[in-house]
Amino acid sequence: MRDMHTIDYNLALIKPFGAHGGPTAPHLDLPQSAYEKADALRDKWKITKPYVVLHPGSARQEKLWEPQRWTEIIDYFGRDNGVDLLLTSGSSHDEQAHVAAIKKNTQKEIIDLSGKTDLFTLAALIGQARLLVTVDSAPVHLAAATRTPQVILFGPTNPFHWRPRESPAAVLHGKSTAPVTEFSPLRPRLPMTEISTDAVIGAMDSLLSLHAATQTS
């Protein structure tokens, strides 16, 4: 397991039963109700522009990035009138406390949908987003399955095992301001504090610019 991506490992488990040669890219078929609920949220919150989803939460505290860093991201991209910023999270007490700490010192407007979506509705919102920015958590895999570009912050988990392989993704791990391009099954556990605000902003700018370029080409 240590030397394999999680998808390859799980597929290997069922290979003895005759399941082999199929696609390795995740795919997600959502019910129509999920898109209807996502549309209703966009109408209610007057989300009319392309949007970026920020999902800072995780069930594991060691995966969380500092609230002040998220606040800096919101304030930086809040100056861009071309996109809306959506904040999402689970409804647990710890995740809601993390979101409250992020919003406490935010100077720019953000649409707070934290705790207001079920899993399918969140997947539909992410699937129609311009970009997802998140820590290593479930939304990573929702974005991978819907081919939504994303910036992912890894710390205590190794991106070798969990990174998206079939969709645009900038993986940040450690102090480097550049996304990780070489992945190894042996990689140290690193504190989330090593990831800088500048690294995240740079990765976001890069993926947003790439999307804009493909739309005009």
In a domain, 145, yes or no: yes
This prediction has a pTM of 0.93
What CATH number does residue 105 fall under?
Answer: 3.40.50.2000
Q: How many domains does the chain have?
A: 1
Question: Angle at the Cα of 68 (from 64 to 70), degrees rounded to 5?
Answer: 65
DSSP state of 65: P
Find all residues with CB under 8 Å of 76, minimum gap 6, and list them. Answer: 197, 201
Residue 198 located in a structural domain: yes
Q: Looking at the domain assignment, is residue 200 inside a domain?
A: yes
Report the pLDDT value the prediction gives residue 155, as an integer from 0 to 100.
96
**Per-residue model confidence as pLDDT tens digits over 134-172:** 999 999 999 999 999 999 999 999 999 999 998 899 999
16 is a domain residue: no
CA-CA distance, 87 to 14, in Å (whole number)?
A: 37
Element (H, E) at 111: strand 111-112
Residue 108 within a domain: yes
Residues 81-111: pLDDT tens digits? 789 999 999 999 999 999 999 999 998 889 9
pLDDT of residue 77: 93
User: Domain range for residue 158?
Assistant: 31-216
Q: 25 pLDDT band (50/70/90 cuts)?
A: confident
22 domain residue, yes or no:
no
In a domain, 23, yes or no: no
Dist. CA 178–CA 24, nearest whole Å:
27
Tell me if 10 is assigned to some domain. no
